Structure 1
Amino acid sequence: MKTFLKPLTVEEEKYYLQRYQGGDLEAKNVLIERNLRLVAHVVKKYQGIDEDLDDLISIGTVGLIKAIQTFDSNKANRLSTYAARCIDNELLMMLRSRKKTSKEVSLYEPIGTDKEGNEIHLLDIIENVPVDVVDTYTFKEDVKKLYELIESVLTPREYEVVKLRYGLFGEEEYTQREIAKRLNISRSYVSRIEKNALLKLRRFFLPS
């Protein structure tokens, strides 16, 4: 169990805030260390979610640091009161961001098999890019590029099939059979369109 230092008294808090606002970075470190117990307290209400505790503490600490940097004693009596809101906001922003990108993460789900029986994934299109190229992008940037390519390089029919197949751009996810019925074409034709679209997208991800 991690042991945190005791919180600052009102007088100590004012003293170190004045020193920090005067340019003393060591005072900032004291304010951070003596308020880590507050971070742990706020994080407790998020422990039921599927997130690593150390990650939550780290994100909460970012919120604490932002609070120390922006605290205005003319608008709030205690740093701890203000910091608790900042810590909570930082954690909420992280969780909302994870929720927003959860659909993108689901692009790793298998979508079928090729002629050799290997699983096909939507993000297979970037698996063969050399490591030195992949390292220059974050996963989020790759997904953003993928979405842009879907809109720009696919034919209208390919775009429609891919959008419906993976629930992109606000659509629900549909099976190949459901898409075939919706577009009044055969399921095998839907499968061919889907695979051709993935191959086309892969070509645009590969370096020239």
Structure 2
Amino acid sequence: MKTFLKPLTSEEESYYLQEYKQGNLEAKNILIERNLRLVAHIVKKYQGAPEEMDDLISIGTIGLIKAIHTFDAQKASRLSTYAARCIDNELLMLLRSKKKSNREVSLYDPIGTDKEGNEISLLDIIETEPVDVVKNYSLKQDIARLYQLLPKVLTTREREIIKLRYGLYGEQELTQREIAKRLNISRSYVSRIEKNAILKLRSFFPSS
């Protein structure tokens, strides 16, 4: 059973929200960590869902972070009241999208191999290593965001090559040469598009 930190008092919450609005990122982290109990509580409603609990909590945490970012004290008395709706909405969107596609790959499934033959996942693309469960929520937020960015940031050609190159969404993993042959373009062009696509994605995940 995961133990979460105690919720903030009303006074503490107001203080850290004000600090965050002024650009204090540590205040944002405190607001997240001290509201994870709320995320876990709401996630319990979805325990019958096929997704792993850690994944559900990570998606719920995305809703929490959105709530912290958009919270307006003049429209809601407490962050928790507003955040509960945002968390619930984020989980509902996930479950609805799952119904539309059963071919979604796991956040941690291998998507290819490196030059030494070691399996790599999307974790490697954003060049981050997982940490303990509580601190891993921020990482999982980045991974979930990466999935959302794929169709929004990449061109149709870039998306096609990334899917084929790393075997995403049920596609067979292909080498650059095989992709070039299939698309009737040069291997060097495939390599250039692949590198450009990954650079685009990495630009959304600056090193801390």
Q: TM-score range by the shorter chain?
A: 0.5 to 0.7
Please state if 1:95 is matched with 2:71: no
Q: 1:136 to 1:103 in 2, by over 3 A?
A: closer
The one-letter amino acid paired with 2:78 is: R
1:138 Cα deviation (Å)?
A: 4.0
| Matched residue, 1:57 | 57
| Matched residue, 1:11 | 11
1:100 Cα deviation (Å)?
A: 1.1
Deviation string 1:118-176 (CA, Å, 9 cap, x unpaired) is xxxxxxxxxxxxx9772367428x6xxxxxxxxxxxxxxxxxxxxxxxxxxxxxxxxxx
Q: Within 2, Cα distance between the matches of 1:79 and 1:18?
A: 12
- RMSD of equivalent CA atoms: 2.8
Q: Within 2, Cα distance between the matches of 1:37 and 1:104?
A: 28
Q: 1:30 to 1:132 in 2, by over 3 A?
A: closer
Q: Within 2, Cα distance between the matches of 1:62 and 1:137?
A: 26
Please state if 1:207 is matched with 2:183: yes
Q: 1:73 to 1:104 in 2, by over 3 A?
A: closer
| Matched residue, 2:205 | none
Q: Within 1, Cα distance between the matches of 2:166 and 2:72?
A: 39
Percent of aligned pairs sharing the same letter: 69
| Matched residue, 1:21 | 21
TM-score, normalised with respect to structure 2: 0.53
C-alpha contact 2:98 2:104 (8 A) present in aligned 1: no
For 1:61-140, list aligned pairs within 5 A. Answer: 61-102=61-102, 134-135=164-165, 138-139=168-169
| Matched residue, 1:158 | none
The one-letter amino acid paired with 1:38 is: L
Mark the structure with the bigger radius of gyration.
Answer: 1
| Structure 1 residues without counterparts, runs of 5 or longer | 106-130, 143-204
1:103 Cα deviation (Å)?
A: 8.0
Q: Within 2, Cα distance between the matches of 1:30 and 1:57?
A: 17
| Structure 2 residues without counterparts, runs of 5 or longer | 106-160, 172-180, 185-208
TM-score, normalised with respect to structure 1: 0.53
Q: 1:103 to 1:138 in 2, by over 3 A?
A: closer
Q: 1:14 to 1:94 in 2, by over 3 A?
A: same
1:58 Cα deviation (Å)?
A: 0.5
The one-letter amino acid paired with 1:25 is: L
C-alpha contact 2:103 2:169 (8 A) present in aligned 1: no
1:50 Cα deviation (Å)?
A: 1.4
The one-letter amino acid paired with 1:80 is: S
Count residues in correspondence: 122
1:206 alignment partner, SS class: helix
